[in-house]
Amino acid sequence: MSPIFKTIARWVLIFIDPRKIQAILYLPRYVSHWSQYQAGSIDKIRVADSYPCLSDWVSSTPYDPHYFYQGAWLARRLAEVRPDQHVDIASSVLTVGVISAHVPTIFVDYRPLNAKLPNLQNIAGTIMSLPFPSGSVSSLSCMHVLEHIGLGRYGDPIDPMGARKAAGELVRVLAPGGQLYLTMPVGRQRVCFNAHRVFSPTEILDLFLGLNLRSFSWVDDAGEFHSGGQPCDAAKSEYGCGFYELQKPL
C-alpha cells in the first residue's frame, strides 16, 4: 500500500467504520439464526429486545498486542518486586484496576478516573506537573502515554516539547533506587499528528538521562512479544512497542 493511499485511508476511516459496513454481509446469517432459535425455544424473541452482534464470529480472540503485553509485563514485574505502593501515570485503566488487587496503587490522569476499588486511589493531575515531591516515588509506571503529550488529542495544551518535558517529570519524582516501567511506540521516528509520536527505540534513552536501563522487551510489527533484548533490536520496526525497565541510581 502506497504512503499516499495509507494517508487517504486514515482520513476516510475517521468518518467511516468499515467493520459496521462489513457487518451488513452477516445479516442473512443473523436472520437464519433467529429463525433456528425461535423454532427450538419456548422463549419467543421480541424485536424490541433484539441486540444484533454481527461481526464477532472470528476464529481467534482479537486483542491489541501493545496493550495486552504491556499489562502482562507490568503485572509480572510488580509481582516479582512486591512494592509497598505503586504509582501509575495515565496508563490503561484495565491494567491499573487489576494490579491494584495485589499492590496499593495511585492512578494519576489528566482526565480523572471516576471509579472506586479497594487499594486504588485516583488523582486528577497532569504529567507535565506531577503531584508528588521530587524523589518520592519508588515504583512508577507510564505506559503508552508519552507519545500523546503535547498533541492536544486528549484536551492537553499543544506543546512540541511535551514528551521531553513529561519524561523530565517522571525522572524528577522517581526515588533513588526506584523503578520506572515505561512503554511507548517505537520504530521509524515520526509525529502522526494528532494521534501519537513514534520514537526511535535507542533515542528514547536520551529522554531519560540519568536512569539506568535494567531490561528491555518489545512487541514487533507482527504483534509478537520479545523478552530480554536491547533497544537496537527493535530499530527496524515501523510501529512496534518498546518496554523499558529503568532505575534511578542510589
Residue type, 178: G
pLDDT for 128: 97
- pLDDT of amino acid 175: 98
Q: Are 34 and 26 in contact (CB under 8 A)?
A: no
Contact call for residues 203 and 237 (beta carbons, < 8 A): no
**Residue 6's pLDDT band (cuts 50, 70, 90):** confident
N-to-C CA span, the chain: 50
Question: CB–CB of 235/225 below 8 Å?
Answer: no
What is the pLDDT, as a whole number, of residue 13?
84
What's the grid cell of residue 179?
Answer: 523503578
Residue 2 confidence (pLDDT): 80
What mean pLDDT comes out for the span 58-84? 97
What are the C-alpha distances in Å from 165 to residues 104, 141, 149, 171, 229? Answer: 27, 16, 9, 10, 27
d(CA 133, CA 20): 48
Cα distance between residue 244 and residue 207, in whole Å: 12
Could you tell me which residues come within 8 angstroms of residue 119 by beta carbon, excluding any fewer than 6 positions away? 100, 101, 103, 104, 105
What is the domain class of 65-247 according to CATH?
alpha beta
Q: How far apart are CA 228 and CA 19, in angstroms?
A: 37
| 60-71 mean pLDDT | 97
Indicate the pTM of the whole model: 0.93
pLDDT, one tens digit per residue, over 181-216 is 999 999 999 999 999 999 999 999 999 999 999 999
Answer whether residue 1 shows pLDDT above 80. no
- Average pLDDT over the chain, rounded to whole? 95
Average pLDDT of span 81-90: 98
Contact at 8 Å (CB) between 217 and 73? yes
Q: State the Cα torsion 162-164-168-170 to the nearest 10°.
A: 70
Spans of all domains in the chain: 3-49, 65-247
| Cell numbers found for residue 195 | 494521534
Considering only residues 1 and 177, tell me which one the structure prediction assigns the higher pLDDT: 177
Distances (CA, A) of 214 to 17, 70, 243, 248: 41, 16, 11, 10
Examine the pLDDT at 168 and tell me if it is beyond 80.
yes
Range from 28-32, 44-48, 59-63 carrying the lowest mean pLDDT: 44-48
Classify burial at 159, counting beta carbons within 10 Å of its beta carbon; exposed 0-12, middle 13-18, buried 19 or more. Answer: middle
Q: For residues 109-115, give the mean pLDDT.
A: 95
In the three-class reduction of DSSP (H, G, I as helix; E, B as strand; rest coil), residue 132 is classed as: coil
